[in-house]
């Protein structure tokens, strides 16, 4: 906040980490919101949707059309945003804000949303939603999209983390990049104790945010949680952190092009 607007160096390791902490809140609230609905399988079933002129499930319909509107409204002009269906997105029709060019231009070609999409529907959703059908398919799809977007933004934020790390120590990164040494890069960008702190904080936040708040003084026990906090830490441990690191490696490999 204290940097002058044209200092060019608006991101630091501390500031990007702060941003990642703030994004945890969005992801955890997204999990809590999705957990309000049961699994609602029809949302994901291509046979069920039968939408005229559209081939796919209801969630695909909602995501593709929402992304198209948001693209027109300028969402993807921000280098922090990555679409799930970037093919054939309409151009922005609004005046553009000039985002600071902090990343190497190669960043634009990194989009791992296909892997995120697969993980979300195959692995995460079964842990979050209890099985059942309450008919709220459109609401379910809208919740899926906002949670997917939050997870995707967090993971692709790895581009910014990697750029900061590179600028802080180009002499350490350059030889590994030239040697295309993925393992070496992975090792260099990893801070095991930071990862552990992240996981623990996420679990704690999920427990706190998911608590039933009452004005009585009775203890808020486990039963009262809107959502199992260990799901949030599993999400981070198994997918969010590993994907963020994958983005960092991919970004660094292109950094000297
Ligand atoms: O904080 C960093 O340095 C990051 O790169 C982010 C992150 C994470 O995804 O939370 C990923 C790799 C590091 O080992 C630690 C944490």
State percent of the chain over pLDDT 70. Answer: 93
Query: Per the structure block, which two tokens stand in for 44?
Result: 């994901």
pLDDT above 90 (res 168):
yes
Ligand 1 pocket residue status of 71, Cβ below 6 Å: no
157 Cα–ligand 1 center, Å: 10
Ligand 1 pocket residue status of 34, Cβ below 6 Å: no
| Model pTM above 0.90 | yes
Q: What are phi and psi of 226, to 5 degrees?
A: -75, -5
Provide DSSP, 226-256.
Answer: SS-HHHHHHIIIIIIHHHHHHHHHHHHHHTT
- Nearest CA, atom 16, ligand 1: 195
Ligand 1 pocket residue status of 244, Cβ below 6 Å: yes
- The predicted-structure confidence for 75-121, as pLDDT tens digits, reads as follows 999 999 999 999 989 999 999 999 989 999 999 999 999 999 999 99
Ligand 1 pocket residue status of 205, Cβ below 6 Å: no
Ligand 1 pocket residue status of 255, Cβ below 6 Å: no
Ligand 1 pocket residue status of 161, Cβ below 6 Å: yes
pLDDT above 80 (res 68):
yes
- Nearest CA, atom 12, ligand 1: 190
Complex prediction ipTM: 0.99
Distance, in Å, from the CA atom of 13 to the CA atom of 19, rounded to the nearest integer, reads: 10
161 Cα–ligand 1 center, Å: 8
Distance, in Å, from the CA atom of 151 to the CA atom of 239, rounded to the nearest integer, reads: 10
Ligand 1 pocket residue status of 18, Cβ below 6 Å: no
Query: Per the structure block, which two tokens stand in for 218?
Result: 């009775």
Confidence of residue 10 (pLDDT cuts 50, 70, 90): confident
Which residues, at least 6 apart from 122, have a Cβ–Cβ distance to it below 8 Å?
A: none
Ligand 1 pocket residue status of 191, Cβ below 6 Å: yes
- The predicted-structure confidence for 187-230, as pLDDT tens digits, reads as follows 999 999 999 999 999 999 999 999 988 888 665 555 667 789 99
Site to substitute for ligand 1 among 195, 196, 236, most atoms within 8 A of C-beta = 195
Q: Which domains, from first to last, does the chain contain?
A: 13-254 (1.10.590.10)
Mean pLDDT of the chain: 93
20 Cα–ligand 1 center, Å: 9
256 Cα–ligand 1 center, Å: 22
């Amino acid at each position: 906040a204290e940097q002058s607007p044209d200092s060019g160096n608006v991101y630091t390791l501390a500031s990007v980490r702060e941003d990642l902490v703030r994004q945890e809140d969005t992801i955890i609230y997204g999990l809590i919101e999705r957990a309000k609905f049961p699994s609602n399988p029809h949302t994901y079933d291509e046979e069920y949707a039968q939408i005229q002129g559209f081939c796919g499930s209801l969630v695909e319909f909602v995501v593709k059309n929402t992304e198209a509107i948001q693209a027109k409204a300028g969402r993807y002009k921000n280098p922090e945003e990555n679409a799930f269906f970037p093919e054939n997105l309409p151009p922005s029709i609004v005046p553009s804000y000039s985002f600071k060019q902090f990343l190497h231009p190669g960043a634009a070609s990194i989009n791992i949303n296909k892997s995120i999409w697969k993980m979300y529907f195959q692995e995460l959703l079964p842990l979050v939603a209890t099985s059942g059908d309450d008919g709220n398919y459109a609401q379910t799809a809208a919740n899926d999209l906002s949670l997917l977007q939050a997870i995707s933004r967090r993971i692709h934020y790895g581009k910014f983390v990697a750029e900061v790390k590179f600028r802080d120590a180009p002499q350490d990164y350059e030889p590994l990049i030239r040697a295309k040494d993925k393992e070496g890069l992975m090792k260099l960008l990893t801070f095991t104790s930071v990862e552990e702190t992240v996981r623990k904080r996420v679990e704690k936040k999920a427990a706190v945010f998911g608590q039933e708040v009452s004005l009585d003084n009775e203890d808020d026990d486990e039963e009262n949680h809107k959502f199992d906090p260990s799901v949030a830490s599993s999400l981070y441990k198994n997918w969010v952190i590993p994907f963020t690191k994958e983005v960092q490696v991919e970004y660094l490999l292109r950094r000297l092009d």
